[in-house]
A = this chain, B = another copy of it.
Amino acid sequence: MADKKLVEAITSMDEDFAQWYTDVVKKAELIDYSNVKGCMVFKPAGYAIWELIQRQLDDMFKATGVENVYMPMFIPESLLEKEKDHVEGFAPEVAWVTHGGLNPLQERMCVRPTSETLFCDFYKGDIHSYRDLPRVYNQWCSVVRWEKETRPFLRSREFLWQEGHTAHSTAQEAQERTEQMLNVYAQFCEEVLAIPVVKGRKTDKEKFAGAEATYTIEALMHDGKALQSGTSHNFGDGFAKAFGIQFTDKDNTLKYVHQTSWGMSTRIIGAIIMVHGDNSGLVLPPRVAPTQVMIVPIQQKKEGVLDKAYELKEKLGNFRVKVDDSDKSPGWKFSEQEMRGIPIRIEIGPKDIEAGKCVVCRRDNGEKTEVNLADLEKEVADILQDIQESMYNKAKAHLASHIYEARTKEEFVKTFAEKSGFVKAMWCGERECEEKIKEDMSVTSRCMPYEQECLSDTCVYCGKPAKKMVYWGRAY
């Protein structure tokens, strides 16, 4: 029924998932490559998803006491160098500004790859007493990392994100904030993006440069690969000591603050695409769909049809609704609405109007229902709600059915050879072992989950005594 032109242009996801992804990104008009190497253009349909993410995540932040600020985008080299692990991690991949106007700078500066050093430099002058604590700041900005290979949303030289940076008077409070923000990310993914996640701690090898501990949420894409979707770091007092951030506590002694940082980026849009998308294109969860309902008039040149379509749009004023009144064919419009992942399509033509009805079609499962126009508002609310839940349940079932267990090296290797998904297995806790696994199998530790199980007494790979259960996977 639908005009197939648009749809034929995308590769089947079962045939070539990577190509399918690129096709969807382009055809749904989310992003365009720019002539600035490694940088992307966020087109209206892509940026609008980010705006909806921002508003809802920001509201969740503020409910926990977060305040937004804005720090400079440049970091002088001497500032970047203050924390040893941090500079080692980031210096090789930053962009350097060496000239201002016509003159060389006395000291070169990088464009922020992340802003720990800037927040620390600020906190040093801003925090004096226990009364100044906690500081729970966040900023929405873009950051730059000089990546060699780039992919839309997943990896680009410039990307958009939020980065929270907090300072606390005790180690315990910092640890609580670290976990609190990880929970906010998990809740946001599950409730707003309909993406279930695995929560846990990163191994030392995979943790953030300069952190004492990094926590992560890991989502599973349709192809069985993992995507790190948000991270929360506890820095202890390491940065505070490097930068000299001290405060006078209630007992009148000088103490170092304890710090955290946490971030989520436009990468998460890649997760939305790869968790929910299908062979007709993008499928957006209603809560982040810039357009939730597309009304497609049938025989729109017939008298009264377009007027009725506009009338329905007015009636559905509580939702994000558009009327496709372009001069394309209905079939073309259907394909386009499907490609763009718009959750609900309403078809309305002369016969429907006569009968006081319209056809409501769901993007997630293709189900069509005839709805009385009088009930439309309530029906749309219910269906959007149901789509949001169904999408989550479907993704959750997919995740559950792609978690495997391995107790022996043989089983471990075989599972990764035959299946795609997470493999739970015991690990000795040693970095060399983890590096060997990566080298041999292109598999990385995704996290040590909060919910630990004891699958065996020995490390799945080297046979030494087991310390932790780890989720292993291939990752974006």
Q: CB within 8 Å of B: which residues of A?
A: 32, 34-36, 39-44, 47-48, 50-51, 67-76, 79, 92-102, 109, 111, 118, 121-122, 125-126, 137, 141-142, 144, 146, 157-158, 160
Contact = CB atoms under 8 A, between A and B. Distances in A.
**Identical chains bound together, number:** 2
The 6 closest A-B pairs by CB, nearest first: A39-B72, A44-B67, A42-B70, A96-B99, A100-B146, A36-B72
Contacts of A157: 100
B39 A68 contact: no
A293 B101 CA distance: 45
Nearest to A122: B41
A32 to B, nearest CB: 7
Given A34-B121, A102-B92, A146-B101, A74 B39 contact: yes
26 contacts: A32-B126, A34-B121, A35-B76, A36-B79, A39-B72, A40-B72, A41-B69, A42-B71, A43-B69, A44-B67, A47-B67, A47-B69, A47-B70, A48-B67, A48-B68, A51-B68, A73-B144, A73-B158, A74-B95, A92-B101, A92-B102, A95-B100, A97-B98, A100-B146, A100-B157, A101-B146
Contacts of A142: 70, 73, 141
Contacts of A41: 69-72, 122
A35 B118 CA distance: 9
Contacts of A118: 34, 36
A44 B75 CA distance: 21
Nearest to A326: B131
A69 B44 contact: yes
B98 A99 contact: yes
A324 to B, nearest CB: 14
A456 to B, nearest CB: 42
A74 B146 contact: no
Name, among A32, A72, A125, A142, the residue most crowded by chain B CB atoms within 10 Å (CB to CB): A72
Contacts of A101: 92-95, 146
A336 to B, nearest CB: 14
A36 B72 CA distance: 7
A281 B367 CA distance: 61
A208 to B, nearest CB: 19
Contact of A111 (B34, B44, B111, B121): B111
Nearest to A99: B96
Nearest to A327: B131
A375 to B, nearest CB: 30
A137 B34 CA distance: 16
Name, among A43, A50, A79, the residue most crowded by chain B CB atoms within 10 Å (CB to CB): A43
B79 A35 contact: yes
Name, among A39, A50, A73, the residue most crowded by chain B CB atoms within 10 Å (CB to CB): A73
Given A48-B68, A69-B41, A95-B100, A74 B122 contact: no
Nearest to A142: B73
Contacts of A137: 44
B99 A95 contact: yes
Contacts of A100: 95-96, 146, 157
Contacts of A97: 95-98, 111
Nearest to A33: B125
